[in-house]
């Protein structure tokens, strides 16, 4: 299949990254760059970068194999943006929620930190929404349990006397 200008540019980017990482010496880098600029097909481009970590490149799918290979992402981690960080308030909300059975007073900070974390996550796009939600649920369950116990105590105290 014939290669486009965009395909050649992607190949040149992979070669530049390989040279910058020290995987290619200068002479080999220059030689491969020249061949990439003259390449007409995907096959010619693929040969130039087959021994380098590759970024996103439209290469025809290989023939199906008899035994399935484990999943490997199409784009090496080098060329992907870093994953978003986990929100610290979400982690704190979960920790406070888990500690609630040991120290009952941590239920209130779990609820406050959980709501704060979920608002920050919506605003910034960080990870940790599940952690914040778990901290919220544990905190509200503990508060509800304490309220139920106080209601039962008050009802029994009112009935007896």
Q: For residue 62, give the 3-state DSSP assignment.
A: coil
| One pLDDT digit (tens) per residue for the chain, 161 residues | 888 888 888 888 888 988 888 888 999 999 989 998 888 888 888 888 888 876 555 455 555 556 556 666 565 666 667 888 999 999 999 999 999 988 879 999 999 999 999 999 999 999 999 999 999 999 999 999 999 999 999 999 988 86
**pLDDT for position 63:** 59
**pLDDT for position 21:** 87
**pLDDT for position 60:** 55
Residue with tokens 């693929």: 46
Question: Residues near 135 by Cβ (< 8 Å), separated by ≥ 6?
Answer: 90, 92, 93, 94, 95, 96, 97, 110, 111, 113, 114, 117
**pLDDT for position 141:** 94
**pLDDT for position 78:** 67
Contact 133, 119 (CB under 8 A): no
Closest CA to 11 of 41, 51, 46: 46
**pLDDT for position 73:** 57
């Amino acid at each position: 299949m014939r290669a486009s200008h965009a395909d050649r540019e992607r190949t040149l980017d992979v070669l530049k990254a390989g040279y910058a990482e020290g995987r290619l010496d200068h002479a080999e880098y220059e030689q491969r760059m020249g061949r990439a600029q003259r390449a007409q097909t995907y096959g010619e481009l693929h040969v130039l970068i087959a021994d380098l970590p590759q970024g996103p490149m439209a290469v025809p799918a290989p023939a199906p194999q008899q035994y399935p290979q484990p999943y490997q992402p199409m784009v090496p981690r080098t060329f992907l943006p870093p994953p978003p960080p986990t929100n610290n308030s979400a982690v704190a909300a979960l920790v406070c929620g888990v500690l609630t059975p040991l120290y009952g007073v941590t239920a209130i900070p779990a609820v406050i930190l959980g709501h704060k974390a979920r608002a920050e996550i919506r605003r910034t796009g960080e990870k940790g929404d599940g952690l914040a939600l778990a901290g919220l649920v544990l905190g509200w369950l503990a508060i509800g349990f304490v309220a139920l116990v106080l209601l039962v105590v008050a009802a029994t105290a009112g009935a007896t006397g």
